[in-house]
A and B are shown apart, each in its own frame.
Chain A
Amino acid sequence: MTDLRAYLIAGEPYYRPVGDEVQVFDAAYKHRLPVMLKGPTGCGKTRFLEYMAWKLQRPLITVAAHEDMTAADLVGRFLLAPGQTVWHDGPLTLAVRGGGICYIDEIVEARQDTTVVIHPLTDARRMLPLEKKNELVPAHADFQLAISYNPGYQSAVKDLKESTKQRFVGIDFFYPSAAIEAEIVARESGVDAATAATLVQIGQRSRHLRGQGLEEGASTRMLIHAGRLTLAGLALSAAAQAAIVLPLTDDADLREALGAAIAACLG
Chain B
Amino acid sequence: MLADTSAAGRLAAALRPRPALAALYQQAWSAMEDENAAEAWAGHVLVLLNANAGATCLTTLLRLRAPAAVLAQTAAFTTDICRHAGAAAAVTCLETWDRLRVAGLWPGFVLVAQCAPECVAGLAANAAAVVQAVGGGGFADFAALGLKAAGRDKARRAAFFALNDPLARRALAQGEGSGFAIQERRLKLFGTALWGRIPALRPLPAAEGRPPPRRTSMSDGVVLLPDTYPGVPPAAQAALYRAAVAHALAHLMAGAPRQKIGTLKPLQLALAGVIEDARVEALMLRRFPGLRHLWAPYHVAQPEGGTAPALLARLSRALFDPAYEDNHGFIAKGRALVAAADPFDPEACRRIGGLLGNDLGQARVQFNARTHVVEPAYRDDGLGLWDFGDKAEAPTEMIDLMVEAARVRQEAGDDGRTEQGPPETAARARAVAAPQPDSVLLARYPEWDRTQGIDRPDWTAVRAVPAVMGDIRRLDAALDSVPDLRRRVARLVRAAKPGRPQRLKRQPDGMDLDIDAVLDAEIAREAGEMQGERVYRSTALQTRDLAAVVLVDVSESTRTGGVLDIERVAVTLLAEAMAGLGDPFALMAFASDGRDQVRLTRIKDFAEPFAPPARARLAGLTPGLSTRLGAALRHAGAELAGVRSFRRLVLVLTDGEPSDIDVPDPRDLVEDSRRAVLGLRARGIDAFGVVLGTGGAENAARMFGRSGYVALRRLEDLPARLSDLYFRLSRR
Contacts and interface: CB of A to CB of B under 8 A. Distances in A.
B716 interface: no
A254 interface: yes
B192 A209 contact: yes
Contacts of B192: 208-209, 212, 257
Given A208-B196, A213-B189, A256-B186, A264 B288 contact: yes
Interface in B465-501: 500-501
A79 to B, nearest CB: 8
A117 interface: no
B186 A257 contact: yes
Contact of B519 (A80, A204, A265): A80
Contacts of A67: 501
B195 interface: yes
A78 B519 contact: yes
A205 B519 contact: no
A193 interface: no
Given A72-B515, A85-B523, A208-B196, A257 B189 contact: yes
A163 B697 CA distance: 59
Contacts, number: 77
A261 B187 CA distance: 10
A212 B187 CA distance: 12
A162 interface: no
B289 A266 contact: yes
Interface string B172-198: 000000000000011111101111111
B621 interface: no
A33 to B, nearest CB: 32
A264 B291 contact: yes
Given A263-B290, A264-B288, A265-B288, A257 B190 contact: yes
A78 B187 CA distance: 60
Interface string A249-262: 00001101110111
B714 interface: no
Interface string B509-552: 00000011011001100100000000000010000000000000
Contacts of B518: 80
A266 B288 CA distance: 7
Contacts of A72: 515-516
B732 interface: no
Interface string A206-228: 10110011000000000000000
Contact of A267 (B242, B290, B515): B290
Contacts of B516: 72, 77
A119 to B, nearest CB: 22
Contacts of A258: 189, 193
Contact of A264 (B194, B196, B515): B194
Interface residues of B, number: 33
B428 to A, nearest CB: 14
B190 A260 contact: yes
Nearest to A68: B503
Contacts of B364: none
Given A72-B516, A85-B522, A209-B193, A264 B290 contact: yes
A267 B185 contact: no
Nearest to A202: B193
B293 interface: yes
A267 B516 CA distance: 61
Given A205-B194, A208-B195, A261-B193, A266 B290 contact: yes
Nearest to B245: A260
Q: Which of A80, A254, A257 has most B Cβ within 10 Å?
A: A257
Contacts of B242: 260
B730 to A, nearest CB: 20
A108 B617 CA distance: 42
Interface string B301-330: 000000000000000000000000000000
A209 B287 CA distance: 18
Contacts of A265: 288-290
Given A261-B193, A265-B288, A212 B519 contact: no
B635 to A, nearest CB: 23
Nearest to B518: A80
B12 to A, nearest CB: 61
B290 A212 contact: no
Contacts of A257: 186-190, 192-193
Given A261-B194, A265-B288, A267-B290, 12 more contacts: A80-B522, A83-B526, A205-B194, A206-B193, A212-B189, A253-B186, A253-B189, A260-B242, A264-B246, A265-B290, A266-B289, A267-B289
22 contacts: A78-B519, A79-B519, A80-B519, A85-B523, A206-B193, A209-B189, A209-B193, A212-B189, A257-B187, A257-B189, A257-B193, A260-B186, A260-B294, A261-B190, A261-B194, A263-B290, A264-B194, A264-B290, A264-B291, A265-B289, A266-B289, A267-B290
Interface of B: 185-190, 192-198, 242, 246, 287-291, 293-294, 500-501, 503, 515-516, 518-519, 522-523, 526, 539
